[in-house]
Homo-oligomer: A and B are copies of this chain.
Amino acid sequence: MAFIPDDTLLGLLAFRPQHGYQLLEIFRDPAELGCVWKLSVSQLYAVLKRLSAQGYITGEEMASANAPARVVYTIAPIGRERLYSWLHEPQPSASIRSVRVEFLSRLYIARLLNLPTIEIIRRQKLACRQERAARIHQRDTAPLGVSHLSLDLQVGQLDAILNWIDRCEMIPHDGEDL
């Protein structure tokens, strides 16, 4: 299963306890996770509820002087465990969508927490190379037609990823300016 929103939210809460609306703004801001993928209002609160029910986070209602009541969530120890095993996933998916969404989310969270990203990138690169080899083999045995075209496109997309992925190491950490 993927559950990218769940793991990403755990990462954001590992950075610091936050309430739903605060998290939402990170997904709305095109300079933050908003550029990677959109999380709808209802899904965000649904995921928080699920994580809470599963014991990965704990919520505490807090009254505020200048705003309606809010629920501040804090990551629990088993949430932290789950987060680290997600970040250090040994065999990340190499589907095009996963690279754009899950891998970039991992990078975002790792940077936020000031963790090293080299291993994350290395494993993703390896997975993409393996995927590319598999697709090339399929393409070269596929009959001409749409299936051949589709595999050809996928190889091209993986090549684009492999050309791009090394640039991911060269961006500074920015966990402090949130």
Give A residues with C-beta under 8 Å from B: 30-36, 96-97, 99-100, 104, 107-108, 111, 138, 142-154, 156-157, 159-161, 163-164, 167-168, 171-172, 174
Main DSSP-derived SS at the A contact region: helix
The answer for the CA separation of A147 and B105 in the assembled complex, in Å, is 11
Whether the pair B161, A156 counts as a contact (CB closer than 8 A) is yes
Q: B150, A168: Cβ atoms under 8 Å?
A: no
Q: Give A94 Cβ to nearest chain B Cβ, in Å.
A: 14
Contacts A31-B145, A144-B171, A157-B157; A164 near B150 (Cβ below 8 A): no
CB-nearest residue of chain B to A146:
B108
Bound-state Cα–Cα, A89 to B100, Å? 27
Instruction: Return the chain B residue nearest A35 by Cβ.
Output: B147
Number of copies: 2
Q: Quick one: closest B residue to A111, CB to CB?
A: B146
Contact between chains at B147 and A31 (CB < 8 Å): yes
Q: Do residues B97 and A150 form an inter-chain contact, with CB atoms below 8 A?
A: no
14 further A-B contacts with Cβ under 8 Å, apart from A96-B97, A146-B171, are A30-B142, A31-B147, A35-B142, A36-B146, A99-B153, A100-B154, A104-B153, A111-B145, A148-B171, A149-B164, A152-B164, A153-B164, A157-B157, A159-B160
Complex: A152 Cα to B30 Cα, angstroms = 14
Q: Looking at the complex, which one of B33, B36, B149 makes contact with A107 (CB distance below 8 Å)?
A: B149
Check if A100 sits within 8 Å of B150, measured CB to CB. Answer: yes
In the assembly, what is the distance between CA of A146 and CA of B111, in Å?
Answer: 9
Of the candidates A143, A146, A150, A171, the one having the most CB atoms from chain B within 10 angstroms of its own CB is A146
